[in-house]
Amino acid sequence: MEEDQPRRDAEGLAEKVERLKRERGAVVLAHYYVPAETQRLADYVGDSFYLARLAKTLDVPVFVLCGVSFMAESVKLLNPARRVLMPEPAADCPMAHMVRREDVDRVRAEVEDLAVVAYVNTTAEVKRWADVCVTSSNAIKVVRELPEKNVLFIPDVNLGRYVAEQVPEKNVILNRGYCPTHNKIGVAQVEALELAHPDALVLAHPECTREVLDEADFIGSTKQIIERIAAGDEREFIVLTVVGVAAEIARRTEGQGKRVFFPEPAPVCPNMAMVTPEKLLACLGNMTGEVALPEDPQRAVEPLERMLELAGR
């Protein structure tokens, strides 16, 4: 009987979350990188841009965003009339801040025919310095479609370098930001996995270092990695991104007998890891962690809209 206690507690928590969602008129949105137990309580799970755009189509007064601040900010920017709550307001993405205004201003002053391209993993303030945003799913397409010859890519050096290699007709100037979690995945860990699973397909997120990307058979965003695994004939996969994606891969490949391997120790984003089921419950109960509309929201939305226009061409 004792052993069933954790399961009963989890069921009790899930029931409370469901009841509060109904009472508050709230929809829970979760990123693939938050813990699997939190994803299980969400109404929708996806990448940051999917969640922000999806919110526009849902007629509810409150969103609870299980993820990091730039994601909640994006939901708020695209849905300014709705309340957006974060179960853990301190969950922030360090890379979202890894660019200095003076560096952007200097390049703007020195380089003509320039577009400043900001990864969506940035604060609203950084988005206001940019001409266009990109996600890891559409960065190559959007940069290719730009009329400008020169591109300053902020903040991620790894995604920026990967895009530069794929779009050689552009002159891409890189910045020095990086994701501490993806940066920590080392070639030695990848080689150990390849030795243990020689037939496995290697899939990597473009936030990984160049040396790790060189090992990959497939490079893509979380969504692209998940879809490639779900659609593939292969039986084994080595996945080089945050281990949270395992939950969605398991949902999408149920019964197919596919095996997925992550580096050891498993890549965990410490900020995403803070978004626990208990904090989601408390957030819904107390309606805390509300995200304010960022300053000059129109200017921050412009690069997001420009991205949609270019990505849709």
Contact residues for ligand CIZ, defined by CB under 6 A: 31, 47-49, 120-121, 135-136, 205, 221-223
Say which entry of ligand CIZ, ligand SF4, none residue 47 contacts (CB below 5 to 8 A, set by partner kind): ligand CIZ
Among 234, 251, 156, CA closest to 197: 234
Segment contacting ligand SF4 by CB under 6 A, of 2-10, 38-46, 161-169, 174-182: 174-182
- In the complex with ligand CIZ, the residue whose CB is nearer, 16 or 252, is 252
Please identify which residue in 20, 114, 203, 269 interacts with ligand SF4, judged by CB under 6 A: 269
Q: Are 29 and 63 in contact (CB under 8 A)?
A: yes
Contact (Cβ atoms closer than 8 angstroms) between residue 69 and residue 90: no
Single-letter amino acid, residue 288? T
Applying CB under 6 A, which of residues 34, 238, 272, 284 lies at the interface with ligand SF4? 272
Taking the complex as a whole, the smallest distance from the CB of residue 120 to ligand CIZ amounts, in Å, to 6
Q: What is the DSSP letter of 221?
A: -
Which strands make up the sheet holding 44-46, listed edge to edge?
44-46, 26-31, 62-66, 83-85
Contact partner, 272, from ligand SF4, ligand CIZ, none, Cβ < 5-8 Å per class: ligand SF4
Quote the crossing angle between the two packed helices 277-286 and 5-24, to the nearest 10°. Answer: 30
- Which of residues 5 and 57 has its CB atom nearest to ligand CIZ in the complex? 57
Instruction: Please state, as a whole number, how many other Cβ atoms lie within 10 Å of the Cβ of residue 215.
Output: 16
Shortest gap between Cβ of 159 and ligand SF4 (angstroms)? 10
Sign of the CA dihedral with 311 first, then 305, 272, and 283 last: negative
**Span from 100-108, 269-277, 278-286, 305-313 in contact with ligand SF4 (CB under 6 A):** 269-277
Binding-site ranges for ligand SF4 (CB under 6 A): 33, 68, 93-95, 121, 179-182, 207, 242, 269, 271-272
